[in-house]
Structure 1
Amino acid sequence: MKRIFSGVQPTGNLHLGNYLGAIRNFVRLQDDYECIFCVVDMHAITVWQDPKQLIDNTREVAASYLAAGVDPEKHIIFNQSQVSAHAELGWIFNCVSRIGWLNRMTQFKDKAGKNREKASTGLYVYPNLMAADILAYKATHVPVGEDQKQHLELTRDIAIKFNNDFNVDLFPVPEPLIFGAATRIMSLRDGSKKMSKSDPSDYSRITMMDDADTVAKKIKKATSDPHLIPGAEVLDENGKLLDDARKERPEAFNLLSIYAALNDKELVDVLGEFEGKGFADFKKSLTEVAVTKLGPMGSEMKRLMDDKSYVDSVLKQGADRAAKLAEPVMKEVFDAVGFLRP
């Protein structure tokens, strides 16, 4: 069976965007792939993290996988730092990758910003560690969002260069797994800004630990507008929302997009369903689907976060299984590179 590797950073306060953009897709991959789902805590420390908070955040991501429906018996859930192969292969890839390649990585430029000289070297070589995450297990497919496509291209380049440098056929060249156009989940208070854990207003986001009552309350308070819901005239010939329409009514189309995503519908079908209606009626339907789909998951996440020993045991068992998969791969790597390992 084809093998998937993917991960989520433990940065805390997972929200609806994290669920719809990544974690929900993980659940849907389980029947068709052998899945390795990681909490990438080593990536997280490329920027400063409070150590105690990092532990809690690591458990939160693991709990989100479990609450969303990932089966830890059939697939692997673990945190990156428990398996030494990630760090070992990451260093080897630091020596295979090239500075020119890393200089082209737009995400480093975005995250480092004007303080590039003060950024950690870990943030700079982040893509090499991501390549190690994937290739330590010879993963064949990687689910990617828009912000990770360039990093996966680098992973493919590293795999090819390693094989060529050492005259081996060791690493597969992993393929991207793209789930169509990603839903842009924006703030419930300001539709021009992305939903974010850093927004000072808790009512700007639906978190994965919100229970049914909290979800309902946040949707009720979500910003909409006084106009009626339009029809398909706001879409282009491919069914994509026109930029002018989004800019004119950002809150309205954010809520409509969330409804479409939660129902696995296209926006054109949602507009056909609600055309000419006001947001008071629409919010009732949105609340119903959000409470049904998100409420039980939020309650389960809270239960899991109160059962730390169980979550930790899932991570430990997953790490043991992951290490066993990586061990023969690393032996091949060490032999290829010429490391003496008596």
Structure 2
Amino acid sequence: MRVVSGIQPTGDLHLGNLLGAILRWVRMQDEAECLFFLADLHALTVDIDPAQLRSSIREMAAALIASGIDPAKSTLFRQSDIPAHAELTWILQGTARMGWLNRMTQWKDKAGKNREGASVGLFTYPVLQAADILLYRATHVPVGEDQKQHIELTRDIALKFNTDFDVDLFVPPEPFIGGGTAARVMSLRDGTSKMSKTDPSEMSRIQLTDSDESIGQKIRKAKTDPEPLPDNAKALDGRPEARNLVGIYAAVTGDSVEQVLGRYAGQGFGQFKPALADSVIALIAPIRQRLEELRGDPDELDRILAAGAKRAAELGAPTLAKAKSAVGLKA
């Protein structure tokens, strides 16, 4: 089993990233061979500050390692350090079909009404994503609900390429359900919207770099409702902010939602929020400390990424060579 996944190095990691993906990646390291990359090529599909992108590479690498990604267990690298990603993307764009890409809901969502003004890269983004996966013959990809369609597209591209060129080269990947459950963390200001680094309000999210005091303040001021906590999860329906805070507590502590409610049923948020803050601080404080240590050693971060890129390049080279041969670009 080989797992591949990436994350864009844009902005700081927040609690939603940590509980929704990164800690799941950490657990995957003990279940499969893992390759994790900083998706800086993907970051180019929208307007971005070049200086910000450059500084975010090391920052994201440090955050992942601080959160538990172990370079001794996993291959951690920068996407653009492997030219094969871009080369294979171009080859696969001859296999992918406009109709397939037109149906991508994320394209529709991100382009909005201004499709004519969106970049070509934003439209073909899923083909680069397919190349990221197929280059390493990944068997499984950890994805959320919003990314399942892209895995289906990757499978379609793999199967069509293999059929068109009569080869058994690309492995149609499966969604990975290992690594335990991933929490869907919502904004602290709006329980119906995902926690996001693009939200203009700093109070909507908890950053991995936030101080203990800042974490406590953000949770204290998180939006709630006046009702006490119920004794069952069903009763949280129609209470998005309450459901979000209970879900965060459960994800941070490893308890189930029912266990959390069993402990705090009948209590108001005045009693619940301090306990939630303590739990979040206990999770983030050691990560923040390790992150600060890694920031002070950029040479070590560069060494880790270079070693990861060397390993990834070795894994991907045979696949790219066979793809070139299949389409007639080399003997």
Q: TM-score range by the shorter chain?
A: over 0.9
User: How far 1:181 moved relative to its partner?
Assistant: 6.9
Equivalent residue letter for 2:12: N
Is 1:153 the equivalent of 2:143? no
Once the two structures are TM-superposed, the CA of residue 233 in structure 1 deviates from its matched residue by 6.5
CA distance in 2, matches of 1:124, 1:201: 29
Quote the residue 1:325 is aligned against.
Answer: 315
Deviation at 1:299, TM superposition (A): 2.2
Q: Which amino acid aligns with 2:253?
A: N
Question: Which deviates more from structure 2 when the two are superposed, residues 220-229 or residues 83-92?
Answer: 220-229
Q: Which residue of 1 aligns with 2:193?
A: 193
Asked if the contact 1:13/1:207 (under 8 Å) is kept, the reply is: yes
1:212 to partner: Cα distance: 3.0
- CA distance, structure 2, for counterparts of residue 178 and residue 74 of structure 1: 19
1:266 matched to 2:231: no
The within-5 A match list for 1:103-252 is 103-178=102-177, 182-232=182-232, 234-235=234-235, 241-242=236-237, 245-246=238-239, 250-252=240-242
Q: After superposition, what is the alpha-carbon deviation per residue over 1:267-287, rounded to whole angstroms, capped at 9, x for unaligned?
A: 222111110112122122212
- Tell me the distance in 1 between the aligned counterparts of 2:41 and 2:85: 9
Moved more, 168-177 or 222-231: 222-231
Aligned to 2:73: 74
Q: CA deviation at 1:36?
A: 0.2
Q: CA deviation at 1:150?
A: 0.3
Amino acid at match of 2:19: L
Q: Partner residue of 1:340?
A: 330
Q: Structure 1 residue 99: deviation in Å?
A: 0.7
> Could you tell me how far apart the structure 1 residues matched to 2:127 and 2:67 are?
29
Matches within 5 A, 1:25-104: 25-104=24-103
User: Pairwise CA RMSD of aligned residues?
Assistant: 1.7
Q: Deviations over 1:134-154 (max 9, x none)?
A: 011101110011111000000
TM, length-normalised to structure 2: 0.95
* Range with bigger deviation, 13-22 or 116-125: 13-22
Preserved CA contact (<8 Å) 2:63 2:291: yes
User: CA shift at 1:29, angstroms?
Assistant: 0.3
Shift of 1:110: 0.4
Q: Distance in 2 between matches of 1:288 and 1:167?
A: 58
Cα distance, 1:50 vs structure 2: 0.5
Q: Alpha carbons of 1:165 and 1:64: their partners in 2 closer, same or farther (altered >3 Å)?
A: same
TM-score (norm 1): 0.92
Which position in structure 1 is the counterpart of 2:280?
290
Cα distance between partner residues in 2 of 1:320 and 1:233: 48
- SS of 2:220's partner is helix
In structure 1, the partner of 2:298 is: 308
Q: Contact 1:211 / 1:296 at 8 angstroms: preserved in 2?
A: no
Determine if contact 1:17/1:195 at 8 Å carries over to the other structure.
yes
Letter in 1 for 2:128: L
Q: Can you list the C-alpha shifts for 1:11-68, whole angstroms capped at 9, x where unaligned?
A: 2122111111111111000111110001100011100110010012222221121011
Deviation per CA, 1:99-149: give whole Å up to 9, x if none. Answer: 111111110010001110011111111111001000111011100111110
Cα deviation, residue 264, structure 1: 2.2
Paired residues, what number? 330
Percent identical across equivalent pairs?
54
Letter in 2 for 1:194: K
> Which residue identity is paired with 2:170?
F
Query: How far 1:318 moved relative to its partner?
Result: 0.7
Between the aligned partners of 1:223 and 1:49, the Cα distance in structure 2 is 31
> CA shift at 1:98, angstroms?
0.7
